[in-house]
Amino acid sequence: MRFVVRRLLLFAAALFGVSVVVFAALRVLPGDVASVMAGLNSPASRVEALREQFGLNRPLPVQYIDWAGGLLRGDFGTSILTGRSVTSLIAARASITFPLIVLGLLIAIAIGVPLGVAATLARSSAARTAFHVAGLIGGAIPALWGGLLLILLFSRGTGLIGLFPSQGFPLDGWAAPGQAIWSLILPALTVGIIVGASLMRYTRSALGDIAGSGRIDMAMACGMTRAQAVIGVGLRLAMPQLVSVIGLTFAEMITGVMVIENLFALPGIGSGLVTDVGNRDLIAVQSELFMLAAFFLLVGLIVDLLHRALDPRLATAADASEVTA
């Protein structure tokens, strides 16, 4: 219980910290917000007008409280360029990014975990080497290049086998779910292969650690075959660790798929953020950055709590240390 309370306090403190960092970064770092928005060589009067319009001439603490107060009420401000509320912008983009990430993660799990188990079970040195090299290469491919290779292989028009569209998302969004999912396949596959390679290495090393501790041998001594022991005992013991890794990967992918979204012309969160930075839409950027960081922290919180629930040994260990302390 003490752990949960402490973790929640840490979460709140981190949220506050992030909001200060984001706010300060856009103001303290060189480059005045208003003059950046106005663009190069714009007259001083225009910069001044922008300052006035967005309240940038007020003292910094007042600006911060105004913005942070809005965040607390759920008001993320308005995009300067489009005039739409940042909340609706993010919602529209998330409807593409989240399905993409979930699909990518499912592919990664479907690739990574079985391969990790297979790599652990492999006996011949040739097979072990093959798994090792595959993991190394999968983790070293630049996302951009991986996507390009898949386009060259499977996209309609360019690819050797024209199967999937390689550009854009249906304009009417999820009105035609089949079409929408179809256009997410190639990008999700790109993400899935790269993340899957790292998941495979994690699975293998987690299973290796457990085998090193003798628990697999113990299960085999009790009559299980090696495969049964690795899958039934090893994988169960590795589960808390793997769930942590998958959760954190999920959070990282929100920004990690930025390149993929750009490449496949999907108007998701990542590519939207890059566009806004390019357009100097700073009020929107400020709120978007905060929301992304907040989401990150939230996933971290959930993962930590879940890890705790999945691994009862942690709670016992903490209680024991509290008793002795």
Partner 1 sequence: MTSDKTSRTSHTAAQATVRVNANVPAGPTAAIVLHGMWRRGEGKFSIIVLGLWLIVAFVSLFWTPQPLLATDGYHVWATPSAAHWLGTDGTGADVLSWLMAGSRTNLLIVVLTVLFAAAFGLLLVAAMVARNGTLAGASVVVVDALISIPTVLLALILAVPLGASVTVIVVACGFGYGLNLARVARPAALLAARSSYVEAALASGASGWWTFVRHIVPNTLPVLLVQLSLSAGTAVLAESGLTYLGIGVPSGVPSWGHSLATSVKFINVYPLTVLWPGLIVTVVVVALNVFGDVLRDAVDPMVNAELRDGAAGADCDGGTLSDPLRAARPSHTVGQRTAVSVRGTADTDVAGRRSA
Structure tokens at 246: 């998958």
Rounded Cα gap, residues 209 and 197, in angstroms:
19
Does position 140 interact with partner 1 (CB under 8 A)? The reply is yes
Does position 125 interact with partner 1 (CB under 8 A)? The reply is no
Does position 273 interact with partner 1 (CB under 8 A)? The reply is yes
**24 or 65: whose CB is closer to partner 1?**
24
Structure tokens at 87: 């909340």
Q: Residues 92, 274, 305, 314: which binds partner 1 (CB under 8 A)?
A: 274
Amino acid identity for residue 309 in this structure = A
Neighbours of 118 (CB within 10 A): 16
Does position 213 interact with partner 1 (CB under 8 A)? The reply is yes
Amino acid identity for residue 197 in this structure = A
**231 or 306: whose CB is closer to partner 1?**
306
Stretch that binds partner 1, among 43-51, 101-109, 135-143, 183-191 (CB under 8 A): 135-143
What is the dihedral angle through the alpha carbons of 258, 262, 264, 270, rounded to the nearest 10 degrees? 40
Neighbours of 281 (CB within 10 A): 21
DSSP state of 233: I
Does position 53 interact with partner 1 (CB under 8 A)? The reply is no
Stretch that binds partner 1, among 79-87, 184-192, 220-228, 286-294 (CB under 8 A): 286-294
Q: Residues 251, 269, 283, 284: which binds partner 1 (CB under 8 A)?
A: 251
**242 or 261: whose CB is closer to partner 1?**
261
**133 or 181: whose CB is closer to partner 1?**
133
CB-based contacts of 126, cutoff 8 Å, min separation 6: none
Q: Residues 157, 171, 172, 222: which binds partner 1 (CB under 8 A)?
A: 157
Q: Residues 50, 186, 229, 282: which binds partner 1 (CB under 8 A)?
A: 282
Mark residues 9-48: x for contact with partner 1 by CB under 8 A, - for none. Answer: -x--xx--xx--xx--xx--xxx----x------------
Does position 277 interact with partner 1 (CB under 8 A)? The reply is yes
Amino acid identity for residue 18 in this structure = V
The answer to whether 207 and 242 have CB atoms below 8 angstroms apart is: no
Amino acid identity for residue 314 in this structure = L
Rounded Cα gap, residues 248 and 240, in angstroms:
12
Rounded Cα gap, residues 247 and 260, in angstroms:
20
Indicate the SS3 state at residue 234.
Answer: helix
Instruction: Tell which residue, 96, 88, 89, has the closest CA to residue 264.
Output: 96
**40 or 175: whose CB is closer to partner 1?**
40
**117 or 254: whose CB is closer to partner 1?**
254
Structure tokens at 21: 């960092």
Q: How far is the CB of 182 from partner 1 (least distance, A)?
A: 20
Backbone angles phi, psi at 155, to 5 degrees: -80, 155
Does position 252 interact with partner 1 (CB under 8 A)? The reply is yes
Rounded Cα gap, residues 245 and 72, in angstroms:
30
Number of residues that bind partner 1 (CB under 8 A): 53
Does position 152 interact with partner 1 (CB under 8 A)? The reply is yes
The answer to whether 202 and 120 have CB atoms below 8 angstroms apart is: no
Q: How far is the CB of 128 from partner 1 (least distance, A)?
A: 13
Binding site for partner 1 (CB under 8 A): 10, 13-14, 17-18, 21-22, 25-26, 29-31, 36, 136-137, 139-145, 148-149, 151-152, 157-158, 212-213, 251-252, 254-256, 258-259, 262-263, 270, 273-274, 277-278, 280, 282, 285, 289, 292-293, 296-297, 300
